[in-house]
Chain A
Amino acid sequence: EDQVTQSPEALRLQEGESSSLNCSYTVSGLRGLFWYRQDPGKGPEFLFTLYSAGEEKEKERLKATLTKKESFLHITAPKPEDSATYLCAVRRNNAGNMLTFGGGTRLMVKP
């Protein structure tokens, strides 16, 4: 059975204090790892897709990386507007388009 575990569950940072969020996964035949951002009461907003180990993607202050067992979302010099829940999800071969989500990391960035 696919498993996705995100850590930490919650993270408080000062503005400008860089850090990383972790997504560990167990899946047979990875066919994509997805990062989403979700603000309270809103739907998840797509950030990145990673398909193979060694792949990296960047967008503004965010950088996502992928290994065979985990993915990291690096946040460089965060701002208060980066506060949100960050969700990781995996899709495996022969699973249609079913995504298995991790529990999320709630990020709070204080000014």
Chain B
Amino acid sequence: DTEVTQTPKHLVMGMTNKKSLKCEQHMGHRAMYWYKQKAKKPPELMFVYSYEKLSINESVPSRFSPECPNSSLLNLHLHALQPEDSALYLCASSQEAGKDIQYFGAGTRLSVL
């Protein structure tokens, strides 16, 4: 089983709202990732967590705040987003950071009004 589950599938929010995206995996993977993907573009890495610690932050604005409560869960907290933040947000996991295959979830389609 290589399943990464993301919720919600779709999210619409205003620029003053606070919302969270959730990602869960039960494969025992110790590295988890957040990517942002705009239409007809490849995924862009945002954050990497390794053993529940933030190891890579690709200069992402502070209105995006990641959290890794335990080895199976990854959250992305959203606050004061802009319309240009509308995109497909993808979560991925791998056995360890720096190794092995990244398995992706189905994504959350975010629209910021």
Contact of B102 among A42, A99, A103 (CB under 8 A): A99
* Contact, CB under 8 Å: B107 / A104: no
Chain B residues within CB distance 8 Å of chain A: 2, 4, 6, 31, 33, 40-43, 45, 48, 50, 55-56, 88, 90, 92, 94, 96-99, 101-107, 109
* Contact, CB under 8 Å: A44 / B101: no
Find chain A residues with CB under 8 A from B105 CB: 43
Assembly CA distance A43 to B88 (angstroms): 9
A71 close to chain B: CB less than 8 A: no
Residues of chain A at interface, number, CB under 8 A: 21
Assembly CA distance A99 to B101 (angstroms): 10
List 19 additional A-B contacts (Cβ < 8 Å) besides A42-B106, A46-B103: A41-B88, A41-B107, A42-B107, A43-B4, A43-B92, A43-B105, A43-B106, A43-B107, A44-B43, A87-B42, A87-B43, A96-B56, A96-B98, A97-B96, A97-B98, A98-B48, A98-B56, A103-B42, A106-B40
Find chain B residues with CB under 8 A from A45 CB: 104
* Contact, CB under 8 Å: B109 / A41: yes
A-B contact count (CB 8 A): 58
* Contact, CB under 8 Å: A34 / B101: yes
Assembly CA distance A49 to B101 (angstroms): 8
B5 CB, nearest partner CB in chain A, Å: 11
A101 close to chain B: CB less than 8 A: yes
Find chain A residues with CB under 8 A from B90 CB: 43-44
Assembly CA distance A98 to B4 (angstroms): 18
B52 CB, nearest partner CB in chain A, Å: 15
Assembly CA distance A98 to B45 (angstroms): 8
B21 CB, nearest partner CB in chain A, Å: 13
Assembly CA distance A102 to B31 (angstroms): 22
Find chain A residues with CB under 8 A from B109 CB: 41
* Contact, CB under 8 Å: B2 / A104: no
Find chain A residues with CB under 8 A from B48 CB: 96-98
Assembly CA distance A34 to B92 (angstroms): 14
A4: nearest chain-B partner, CB-CB:
B42
